[in-house]
Amino acid sequence: MAKDWTSKYIAREGLPKSFRATVEIICEPLAARLARLRQARKKVVVIGLCGPQGSGKSTIAAATAQLLEDRGLTAVALSLDDFYLSKSSRERLAREVHPLLATRGPPGTHDVALAGAVLEQLRRPGRVALPTFDKAADERAPRAAWRTLATPVDVVIFEGWCLGARSQGAAALAQPVNALEAEEDPDGRWRGYVNAQLDGPYQELVYLQPPSFEVVLGWRQEQERKLIAAAGAGMSDAEVARFVAHYERLTRWMMAETPDRARLVFQLGKDRRPVAPE
């Protein structure tokens, strides 16, 4: 795509000028690949876009979908975050399974049935309502606030931090990875439950590889500060650190395991900018 497209998109979406590199290195090649797949398969293409918290998945998915739209295809970017269970459902899990399941994010805290139904409808003629989750309120938005669109579409980009993750073996689960697990899940019940929710196929898996787990906390804290600026409410840096601890085990596991089997892997620098391939 022409550079003027990127400039206009960046200005319209209020993105930093540095996002140009992300468009050139990630979004444009990904959109071209998806367009080729759609033409070859003659059916809806669904990809899973995964990466750690704060890695820019939502922004990349939205820009890639827009590039596809400008190529004449219908595309939709979905976020796993919009399929969180309601607060009451997570509170029930906290009572019945483990208290840590009250915190959204890890596998087991998503409405998998709803996500499956939406993905299935995106392949069929008709219309579909896309759920929205209000992170500031920690609750699913009322159905009246969900957007609807005509189906089927050509391409679905489904982004989420744990999409396509595989379960760990018992030996890996035995040792806590941080204080949260050691102090609040000493018998391993929570991490065992989360681990059991994993494994799921996608037609394509695209992975955003961070330079280290340590940078993820800073990314997530930056993301939360933006949420506070926009919504007037959110978590403190200390609260974000505790929140990210719920994600640490699986994030580290995916960093080690996912690149070997993902169809595409894009390396990110500490500043979240993609590293150009050599």
Q: What are the residue ranges spanned by the domains of the chain?
A: 24-83+156-267
When pLDDT is averaged across residues 194-223 and rounded to a whole number, the result is 87
User: How far is Cα 100 from Cα 93, in angstroms, rounded to an integer?
Assistant: 9
pLDDT in tens, 76-133: 999 999 999 999 999 999 999 999 999 999 999 999 999 999 999 999 999 999 999 9
When pLDDT is averaged across residues 260-277 and rounded to a whole number, the result is 91
Looking at the DSSP bridge assignments, the partners of residue 140 are 133
Q: β-strands 147-151, 155-159: how paired?
A: unpaired
Does the pLDDT at position 1 exceed 60? no
Per-residue pLDDT at 167: 93
Does the pLDDT at position 141 exceed 90? yes
Provide the 10 A C-beta neighbour count for residue 201: 7
**Closest Cα partner for 206 from 268, 122, 252?**
268
Q: What is the pTM of this model?
A: 0.89
Report the CATH fold assignment for 24-83+156-267: Rossmann fold (3.40.50)
Per 3-state DSSP, the chain is made up of helix, strand and coil in percentages (nearest 5) of 50, 15, 35
pLDDT-derived band at 2 (thresholds 50, 70, 90) equals low
* Contact predicate 141/174, CB 8 Å: no
Per-residue pLDDT at 42: 87
* Contact predicate 210/51, CB 8 Å: yes
pLDDT in tens, 17-73: 999 999 999 999 999 999 999 999 889 999 999 999 999 999 999 999 999 999 999
